[in-house]
Structure 1
Amino acid sequence: MDGGEVRALPAAAIEGRRLLYFDYVMAAFVTILLLSNVIGAGKVAVVGLPVIGDWPFGAGILFFPMAYVIGDVLTEVYGYARARRCIWAGFAALLFMAGMAWVVVALPPAAGWGGQAAYEAVFGQVPRIVLASIIAFWAGEFVNSYVLARMKVWTRGRHLWTRTIGSTIAGQGVDSLLFYPIAFYGVWDNDTLAIVLVTQWVLKVGWEAALTPVTYLVVGWLKRREGVDVYDEATDFTPFRTRV
């Protein structure tokens, strides 16, 4: 299908249908999720702001919200069931990445190799933070997908921006409410914990809102190419299954 008529269909109606771009969107979702956790999570960067001065931030915030954007695209175009499949794929990939990093770091280095300390600094993991990240991602993404799918039915497919931003407010809220207390309660004082939690949530939602024009373009292009617009009117919203 080269683009054209878009048919509004219940999710069950596209079972068995050949979807041209779903696999690519799923691959992009998992790739951004993994790279934002590996490359972006460990660095604290700084940006100079008028009046305030230097403001530190976790570099991963620049890219991790893109996983939520693609999650929105998956749910909006392909429906909750296929987004659920992608979330489980991302969850499995995170578990594998964490296990692989632990094994590789733990292996004794060769006598002539001097990179162990740097390797540990980059890929060494604090189990509590890894656990927090995986739990927060799983819960936040499912909340994000559920809210978007339900809002699409309620709004009859109108006003895409309301559900992309609304679902992110809910999903990123759950993500932050789980990640920071699990990872840092008792390590940071409660005031710092609350400030960082709220700040990161606001920044992630703001980043999602800024990317709304891009979301519109991608969603519109995919719907035209696939020829479908899926509505989750009779969907089983349980997260505990991977079959479509």
Structure 2
Amino acid sequence: MADGPRYLGLITGVFCGALVSTIILSGKIAAVAGATFPASIVLFPLTFLIGDVLTEVYGYAATRRAVWAGLISELLWIASYTAAAALPPAPFWPHQDTFSALLGQTPRIALAGMIAYVCGEFVNAYVLARMKIASGGGYLALRMIGSTVFGAATDTAIVLVIAFYGVIPAGQLLKMGLAVWVLKVMWEILALPISLPLVRWLKRREQIDYFDVGTDFNPFRLQR
């Protein structure tokens, strides 16, 4: 502990990398068994799982810093892509239109994704931290699932309403939202055999099991 948490920086880095990857994957809309959803669903729920791990082991304040670091990573990706797309292509490189079509994000979708991500992650972390205090640190699996239920619902509702309301029929939008929300929660449940041992291992290695008693839950405050 003298040198600070050993794995916090690594976990935050994976968190930011997963967020940037989901921006790229969200450019594809997949259809499975009649349900449609962004392809980012294969990875985005990992951010809720990592958020759970951060909050459970290191506390809400550590998750808060990771959320803002993730937002900065997203903004850096968008700025980098915009600059790269604006560069004139080499005469022998015929893929400019494909590059723009696959990686480009309309301002509305990009804005929706960032707002939804920030709100969803903070709801997830807040619910988990409060449930941990209320339960005395017990029922970890139920707390991780419960926080994801609320966080994923917040994220999904915001991104679909801001990005697609008025573009996709309301009935189809609701079906897509329910499918995405269920998939995110199922992702969390299926990952429990990995996430639960990981949390226990981190607590032993770091000798940290933070309870957010007295924590300021203001999302814009970077201290505890």
Report the TM-score when normalising by structure 2: 0.94
How far apart, CA to CA, are the structure 2 residues paired with 1:56 and 1:19?
41
Q: Return the offset for 1:55.
A: 5.0
Does the 8 Å contact 2:36/2:179 carry over to 1? no
**What is the aligned partner in structure 2 of residue 11 from structure 1?**
none
Any idea what the Cα deviations from partners look like across 1:188-213, whole Å, max 9, x if unmatched? 11111111111111111111111112
| Aligned partner of residue 209 in structure 2, secondary structure | strand
Any idea what the Cα deviations from partners look like across 1:36-69, whole Å, max 9, x if unmatched? 221x21223444x5xxxx6554321111101110
How far apart, CA to CA, are the structure 2 residues paired with 1:21 and 1:75?
13
Q: Do residues 25 (structure 1) and 11 (structure 2) align? A: yes
How far apart, CA to CA, are the structure 2 residues paired with 1:189 and 1:227?
51
**What is the aligned partner in structure 1 of residue 108 from structure 2?**
128
Any idea what the Cα deviations from partners look like across 1:139-165, whole Å, max 9, x if unmatched? 000000010001000000001011101
Does the 8 Å contact 2:35/2:176 carry over to 1? no
**What is the aligned partner in structure 1 of residue 29 from structure 2?**
44
Instruction: Indicate the structure whose relative CO is greater, using CA pairs within 8 Å and at least 6 residues apart.
Output: 1
- RMSD between superposed Cα atoms in Å: 1.6
Any idea what the Cα deviations from partners look like across 1:50-100, whole Å, max 9, x if unmatched? xxxx65543211111011100000000000001100000001111111121
Any idea what the Cα deviations from partners look like across 1:174-229, whole Å, max 9, x if unmatched? 10110001000110111111111111111111111111121101100100000111
Deviates more, 1:118-127 or 1:161-170: 118-127
The 5 A counterparts of 1:38-117 are 38=24, 40-47=25-32, 56-117=36-97
Q: Return the offset for 1:242.
A: 2.5
Aligned residue identity for 1:174 = T
Q: Do residues 149 (structure 1) and 95 (structure 2) align? A: no
The structure carrying a bigger strand percent of its residues is 1
Count, aligned residues? 224
Does the 8 Å contact 1:88/1:242 carry over to 2? no
Aligned residue identity for 1:43 = K
Q: Do residues 159 (structure 1) and 144 (structure 2) align? A: no
**What is the aligned partner in structure 1 of residue 184 from structure 2?**
204
Q: Do residues 119 (structure 1) and 104 (structure 2) align? A: no
How far apart, CA to CA, are the structure 2 residues paired with 1:120 and 1:185?
24
Query: Aligned in 2, Cα 1:55/1:180: closer, same or farther, shift over 3 Å?
Result: closer
How far apart, CA to CA, are the structure 2 residues paired with 1:235 and 1:243?
9
* Structure 1 residues without counterparts, runs of 5 or longer: 2-15
Q: Percent identity?
A: 44
The structure carrying a bigger helix percent of its residues is 2
**What is the aligned partner in structure 2 of residue 7 from structure 1?**
none
Does the 8 Å contact 1:76/1:219 carry over to 2? yes
Aligned residue identity for 1:220 = R
Question: Moved runs in structure 1, 4+ residues, more than 6 A?
Answer: none
**What is the aligned partner in structure 2 of residue 183 from structure 1?**
163
Q: Do residues 224 (structure 1) and 204 (structure 2) align? A: yes
Does the 8 Å contact 1:168/1:208 carry over to 2? yes
* Structure 2 residues without counterparts, runs of 5 or longer: none
Does the 8 Å contact 1:136/1:178 carry over to 2? yes
Report the TM-score when normalising by structure 1: 0.87
How far apart, CA to CA, are the structure 2 residues paired with 1:114 and 1:208?
41
Q: Return the offset for 1:17.
A: 6.1
